[in-house]
Copies of this chain bind each other. A is one copy, B any other.
């Protein structure tokens, strides 16, 4: 499954043959059908595994009670970025495949992740709105587009970003070292300045 996720993310599900996966995993081709049933089912197993992992990571986000709503948002954003970065191969695969997805199990899995994310953010924003420091009536769905769109775009345009920052595209560790802090700083700043009620509106 690890070999498959890497290959699928790297060159797409359809453009990866079961023979590629078998070779990368060091097993016989027939084993994939034997253990997973089919190539499609292998993808399904991958989705179930990673979505479970990522859901668990999201559940872990602890809300310390003595932090400001703004800090809560910061922590959520950092957790998103770290979790996605840690599972970036799968995440890329998911982003790329979700538009094409016909499989209900996988689609529903992705949807449940999105809803989980939305409710997480919604809770934090409501607290801030009640405290009078965040805007009210924020469209969380659209704000989610910005949060996940930004993160997805970062990992989906890795090659382009490496060129921009003069990083060797093979050196993934270096890429992460450069992009993750920037992403965190930027996204926190963007979301915070968007949510905060402006002085002029007071």
What are 18 contact pairs spanning A and B, CB under 8 A? A12-B12, A12-B14, A15-B100, A96-B99, A99-B157, A114-B157, A139-B182, A141-B165, A142-B182, A146-B149, A146-B153, A148-B153, A149-B151, A149-B153, A193-B193, A193-B198, A199-B199, A199-B200
What residues on B are CB-neighbors of A114 within 8 Å? 157, 160
Q: Nearest-CB distance from A31 to chain B (Å)?
A: 24
What residues on B are CB-neighbors of A104 within 8 Å? none
**Tally of this chain's copies:** 2
Beyond A96-B96, A100-B15, A199-B199, whether A145 also contacts B141 by CB under 8 A is no
A141-B161 in contact (CB<8A)? yes
- A87 at the B interface (CB under 8 A): no
Count A-side interface residues using an 8 Å CB cutoff. 49
Q: Nearest-CB distance from A187 to chain B (Å)?
A: 8
What residues on B are CB-neighbors of A141 within 8 Å? 161, 164-165
In whole angstroms, what is the CA distance A183 to B139 when docked?
11
A153-B145 in contact (CB<8A)? yes
Beyond A12-B12, A150-B150, A152-B149, whether A186 also contacts B98 by CB under 8 A is no
What residues on B are CB-neighbors of A190 within 8 Å? 146, 190, 194
